[in-house]
Structure 1
Amino acid sequence: MTIHFTPIPTETVRAYRAGGLDANGQPPERAIAAGAGYPCRHCLDMIPQGAAMLVLAHRPFPMPQPYAEIGPIFLCADDCAAGGGPNLPAFLNSPAYILRGYGSDHRILYGTGAVTPTPDIPARAALLLSDPNVAYAHVRSASNNCFHAAINRA
């Protein structure tokens, strides 16, 4: 099973950068990265210290519904190339993350969620996506549940 780490779509990021409202109906906040701990959900890299960034509430689902979690994310304020691909993104540098599968109805598939050591994410994602009931998976913070990236079949 070949997997693909998928960032927030470029058109969504462009809308946020242009002042489009976030999942809470607010314009993104502008800030300066005060360290190296701000992962951009578009380029899938860390926002450099001192660089402009956006902070906003994002819902990585196509529509509101009970399982469509909303949470804070960071984006590079300036243009950045969309990241993604089959390899573990470098911005996933914490010891572990939550990996969770979702059905084609965009709802959590119970029993698929697990705190996963970072080096094991690709193998765990491939296992999840080998189940035909799993449409895609999310990588989320193990401490705060923030969305980091989707994982799809390649």
Structure 2
Amino acid sequence: MFKITALSTDDVRALQAGGPDAYGAVPERTVSTGAGNPCRHCLQNIPEGEEMLILAHRPFSETHPYAETGPIFLCAAPCERYEGAELPEILTTSPDYLIKGYGVDDRIAYGTGAITPTDQIGTAVKDIFARPDIAYIHVRSARNNCYQARIDRA
């Protein structure tokens, strides 16, 4: 069993209020083009024509060699945080995703990274979590390496 973990509401509300991103910059505001603009809080595509934020995100509390930073999108207006174990909308719109496991030290667990077809994510997650050294899994875009969501044990 596993659960999909979206960005925390407190962190997202701070960004929506103009708080700094991972590089200390104010998030950019723009308008969504529809598909391809996934919010990392509600884990849905931001509807076409809706205002959105683009910002640098580092899904780690500290900097270190494995602490990748990259662009993400958020709804500009408050949205509800995704809570669940089923694959959310943003993890069903691409044919595949990059998944990789991390240890409690926030380092990539070698041998876990793989471009995974969308319909095989559940099986791949179970296989990765079968390793005792895995604390959590990141899901990233297979095309652009953008952070999508975290997967935790349920």
TM over 0.5: yes
Alpha-carbon deviation of 1:119? 1.0
- The residue identity in structure 2 corresponding to 1:36 is A
Equivalent positions of 1:5-154 (< 5 A) are 5-92=4-91, 93-154=93-154
- The residue identity in structure 1 corresponding to 2:108 is I
Check the 8 A contact 1:45/1:89 in 2, yes or no.
yes
Aligned equivalents of 2:14 and 2:32: distance in 1? 21
Provide runs of 4+ in structure 1 moved above 2 Å.
Answer: none
Unaligned runs of 5+ in 1: none
- The residue identity in structure 2 corresponding to 1:47 is I
Aligned equivalents of 2:58 and 2:27: distance in 1? 13
Alpha-carbon deviation of 1:44? 0.5
Alpha-carbon deviation of 1:99? 0.5
TM-score with structure 2 setting the length: 0.97
TM-score with structure 1 setting the length: 0.97
RMSD: 0.8
CA deviation vs aligned residue, 1:35-89 (integer Å, no higher than 9, x gap)? 3220000000000000010000000011111100000000000011001311011
